[in-house]
Amino acid sequence: MKNLNGHMYTMEENKPVAPRRRRLHSDEFKAEAIEACLQPGVSIAAMALHYRLNANMLRTWVAAHKRAVTEEGDASTVPTAQFVPIHLAGPHETAATPDIVIEIRRGAARITIRWPHAAAAECAGWLHGWLR
């Protein structure tokens, strides 16, 4: 140990310092981590903890993946909206059509609302306002 202007120098002079080595991740590992981040309701920070990665690095991987998918025009990882046909009853079918039934459960409470099928538009308006 040396004394430098009243301060004690405690570092060992001949001790070699190992260089910091970055971890290398396989393409399969990156793809797995990115796919996990793209699931609905999953946070990148949580996946970073799970895979023992830096969250910023994982965000970079996800952003690069999204850019690559957009540039390629490949939408295979993004689910596409599909048309679902709905049969609307004609005027002659309304008498046999059952009422609209809306059932709401919250804890032990249960509410059932019956609405005439002929007033489906009013039901939709009411439900839209109620859900706001």
pLDDT digits (tens, 9 = 90+) for 33-86: 999 999 988 899 999 999 999 999 999 999 999 988 887 765 555 566 677 777
Q: What is the pLDDT of residue 61?
A: 95
Q: What is the pLDDT of residue 78?
A: 55
Residue 10: partners with Cβ closer than 8 Å, 6 or more residues away? 1
pTM for this model (two decimals): 0.42
Q: What is the dihedral of CA 50, 55, 58, 62, to 10 degrees?
A: 110
Q: Count other Cβ atoms within 10 Å, centred on residue 118.
A: 15
DSSP state of 95: T
Angle, in degrees to the nearest 10, between helices 44-51 and 27-37: 140
